[in-house]
Amino acid sequence: MKNLYKYNLTDAELKIKKEISKLKSDAGSHSPSIQTLSQLISNLDIKVDACFLSNPFATELFMKYFKRQILDADRFQDLLEFYPSQNKVIAQYFSKTIGVDAKNIFVGNGAVEIIQAIIHRFTKKRMVIIIPTFSSFYEFALDKVDIKYFTLKKSENFRLNINEYINFVKETKPDTIVIINPNNPTGSYLLQKDLTKILNELSFVENIIIDESFIHFAFEDDLYSEVTIAKMLEDNENLYIIKSMSKDFGIAGIRAGYALMNQVKVESLLKNGYLWNSNGLAEYFFRLYGTPQFVDEYKLVRMRYIQETQRFVSDLASVPNIKVYPSFANFVLIELPDTISSELVSFILLIRYGIYVRNCVDKKGLDGNYLRIASRDQKGNKLIKQALTNLFE
C-alpha cells in the first residue's frame, strides 16, 4: 500500500465525483442506474457494470427467443398495445415449471412490489431483519412497525448463526421475519436443512418471508441442481417465498417477479388491488418460462454463469490486501484495507477504469470498507480483477 498517489483524485476527477455523489444522494439507498449515470455525466465511459446483479448469458438467451418469437414475427405491437392478462392467468403459465400450484402464486411487478405488498398487508407490529441486507425490507415497513435487527458477524464470515438467531426471534416475538437466501450483500447461503430447522423452530411467527431472489446461483451438489424451500409451503401457512426474475434471467428492465404463499394470502392481496400489474413484456417472459425448451436452455446458461462466478470469486482471492468473502450469489463481498475508504475506491474504479461497483458504506450492519462486486462475463470479470490488482498490489 505504498503508492498512495493512486488515491489522489485530479481536479477533473473530483468534478465527476461531485456529480456522481449528487446522483447517488438523489437515488436514496439504491445506486443510480448505469443509464442515469451515463446520461447525466457525459465524461463517464462505463466498461463493466459490476453494480448490476444479473446473468448476462440469460439476457442473451431471452433476446434470442424474443427476437425470433416477437420481433421477427412482427408481434411486438401486441405486447405494448393491449392490456396484459391478470395475475391468475399469468400464474398458470409457469406453475408447472416451478412445480407449484397456480393458486399459490402471486405475480408481481418485480420482487420489490411483492416485498411492499406483503409487509404492508400482513406485518402488523414487529419485524426481525437480518443485517446487512437488501434495504427495502426495512425501508418499506410502515411507521407503525417496530423493527429489530439481528446483525451478522464478520468473525463468522457473515454466515447466520442459526441457534443465536432462533433464540433472538423467540425473545423478540415478532409477527414477521425475513431471510434472504443467499443473502445480499454478503453472498452467504443457508443450507436447506438449516432453513428447514428455522421454519420448524419458529413456526409461531405469523409471517416468515424467505427471499430467494438469488437462489438460482446457489447449489448444494456437484451438479449445481437448483434448490428452493418451496417444498415447505404446503405445511407452513406462514411461509412466503419471494422470487425476483431480474437477476437469474437477466431482465431487470422487464420487472418480473413472483411470490409463493398460502392461497388465502394470494386471494387477500388480489381482492383489493394488483390488477394488470404485469406488463406485456413480463407476460411474454412468464409464458416463455412455461415452455420446456426455454427452461432447458436456461439451465445451461445458469450453470455457465455459476461456473464463471465461482471462478471469479476464486480468482479475486489472489488479489493482495483485500479479503474476499465466500459467495453463493452472483456477486462477491470484498473488504478493503482500513487505510483507504471504499467510497473513494468505488469512485476511482468508476472514473479511471470504467468499472461500476456497489460501495457498501451506507449498508446498515456493515461497518468498514466493503465493496459488493457483481460477476459479469469472463471479459468483464478479468477487467475487474486487473483493476483491483492495480489498486491494491
Partners of 71 in beta bridges: none
250 touches a second copy (CB under 8 A): yes
Give the other-Cβ count within 10 Å of 147's Cβ. Answer: 16
Residue whose CB is less far from a second copy, 119 or 239 = 119
Find, among 123, 109, 113, 116, the residue nearest to 137 by Cα. 116
- Going through 115-226 in order, the beta strands assigned E by DSSP cover 126-131, 146-151, 176-180, 207-211
Find, among 240, 129, 109, the residue nearest to 183 by Cα. 129
49 touches a second copy (CB under 8 A): yes
251 touches a second copy (CB under 8 A): yes
Asked if 355 contacts 47 with a C-beta cutoff of 8 angstroms, the reply is yes
Give the other-Cβ count within 10 Å of 43's Cβ. Answer: 10
Give the other-Cβ count within 10 Å of 2's Cβ. Answer: 6
- Measured from the CB of residue 244, what is the shortest distance to a second copy in angstroms? 10
Residue whose CB is less far from a second copy, 32 or 174 = 32
63 touches a second copy (CB under 8 A): yes
44 touches a second copy (CB under 8 A): no
Longest dimension (CA), the chain: 63
Residue whose CB is less far from a second copy, 258 or 325 = 258
* 3 state DSSP class of 74: coil
124 touches a second copy (CB under 8 A): no
Question: Of the ranges 63-71, 189-197, 300-308, 358-366, which one interacts with a second copy (CB under 8 A)?
Answer: 63-71
**Which one of 44, 252, 303, 344 is in contact with a second copy (CB under 8 A)?**
252
Taking the CA atoms of 370, 371, 372 and 378 in sequence, report the sign of the dihedral they define.
Answer: negative
Residues 6+ apart with CB under 8 A from 316: 322, 324, 332, 334, 373, 385, 388
- Going through 216-340 in order, the beta strands assigned E by DSSP cover 239-244, 257-260, 323-324, 331-335
- Measured from the CB of residue 142, what is the shortest distance to a second copy in angstroms? 6
264 touches a second copy (CB under 8 A): no
Residue whose CB is less far from a second copy, 120 or 170 = 120
- Measured from the CB of residue 286, what is the shortest distance to a second copy in angstroms? 13
27 touches a second copy (CB under 8 A): yes
Question: Of the ranges 22-30, 197-205, 215-223, 329-337, which one interacts with a second copy (CB under 8 A)?
Answer: 22-30
176 touches a second copy (CB under 8 A): no
Query: Do the bridges between strand 355-356 and strand 358-359 make them parallel or antiparallel, or are there none, so unpaired?
Result: unpaired
- Pairwise CA distance, residues 242 & 191, whole Å: 17
Question: Of the ranges 234-242, 250-258, 325-333, 354-362, which one interacts with a second copy (CB under 8 A)?
Answer: 250-258
| E strand or H helix at 266 | helix 263-271
363 touches a second copy (CB under 8 A): no
**Which one of 8, 10, 21, 36 is in contact with a second copy (CB under 8 A)?**
36
* 3 state DSSP class of 104: helix
- Measured from the CB of residue 318, what is the shortest distance to a second copy in angstroms? 30
Give ∠ CA 245-130-248 in degrees, rounded to 5. Answer: 15
**Which one of 190, 209, 282, 349 is in contact with a second copy (CB under 8 A)?**
282
**Which one of 6, 9, 13, 30 is in contact with a second copy (CB under 8 A)?**
30
Residues 321-340 that bind a second copy (CB under 8 A): none
Asked if 366 contacts 185 with a C-beta cutoff of 8 angstroms, the reply is yes
Residue whose CB is less far from a second copy, 22 or 231 = 22
73 touches a second copy (CB under 8 A): no
Give ∠ CA 274-280-282 in degrees, rounded to 5. Answer: 75
Residues 74-113 that bind a second copy (CB under 8 A): 76-86, 88-89, 109-110, 112-113
Question: Of the ranges 13-21, 59-67, 192-200, 203-211, which one interacts with a second copy (CB under 8 A)?
Answer: 59-67
Partners of 257 in beta bridges: 108, 244
Residue whose CB is less far from a second copy, 72 or 164 = 72
Contact positions toward a second copy, by CB under 8 A?
A: 26-28, 30, 32-36, 49, 52, 54, 59, 62-63, 66, 71, 76-86, 88-89, 109-110, 112-113, 116, 120, 136, 139-142, 246, 250-255, 271-282
